[in-house]
Amino acid sequence: MNGQYRLCAGAVVFNKKGEVLLCRRKGMKGAWQFPQGGIEKNESVQEASKRELYEETGIDSALLVWTEKNPIRYEFPEDVKKNFIKKKIVSDGQDIYFNLFYFDGSDECINLETFEPEFDEYRWDNFEFAISNIIYFKKEVYEQIAKKFEPMIQQYLDTGTILA
């Protein structure tokens, strides 16, 4: 295409058990992912991640523990690019910055019935489940994030130290 990559922020949310929040794409059986979305003009990575987390899950009380300083790039497959072109979206993929959040609230705080729902179910699980159930072209990204964030989650749970 044209070498354009959408800037994106993702939210990896974990609970006191060390489980991560995964959401299933609406109408896509078995398509689980972390909340994520585009970074708007004049918005920081942290602001975008918090906004997307709230817009997609209703969570507004998670504590920022870490912000990834460098994005991870992934390419969209050709069929996805063609679908985007039909919607007048021009992008070869995304440069995604992941943020790590601790959530000590109750599940009642999670609301997927948002203004424009993207997900129809959520679950708390481990990174292995996330990697096994993410769409194939993001698998490598999730493997990288798991490798980096798993020890950070354990460190936070052991010490309560905020790394951001």
pLDDT digits over 145-157, tens only?
A: 999 999 999 999 9
Cα–Cα distance for residue pair 24/121, rounded to 1 Å: 5
**pLDDT-above-90 percentage for the chain:** 79
Check whether 139 has a pLDDT greater than 90: yes
For 139, counting Cβ atoms within 10 Å of its Cβ (0-12 exposed, 13-18 middle, 19+ buried), the class is: middle
Write out pLDDT tens, residues 47-104.
999 999 999 999 999 999 999 999 999 999 988 888 877 877 788 999 999 999 999 9
Please state, as a whole number, how many other Cβ atoms lie within 10 Å of the Cβ of residue 143. Answer: 14
Q: What pLDDT sits at residue 25?
A: 92
Report, in angstroms and rounded to the nearest whole number, the Rg of the chain calculated over CA atoms. 15
Average pLDDT, the chain: 92
Q: Strand ranges (DSSP E) for 72-117?
A: 72-75, 93-102
pLDDT at 2: 62
Residue 100: what are its φ and ψ, rounded to 5°? -110, 125
Cβ-based neighbours of 154, under 8 Å, separated by 6 or more: 18
Contact, 45 vs 137, CB < 8 A?
Answer: no
Helix (H) or strand (E) holding 9: strand 5-14
In the chain, the domains with their CATH numbers are: 5-159 (3.90.79.10)
Is the pLDDT at 1 greater than 80, yes or no?
Answer: no
pLDDT at 95: 96
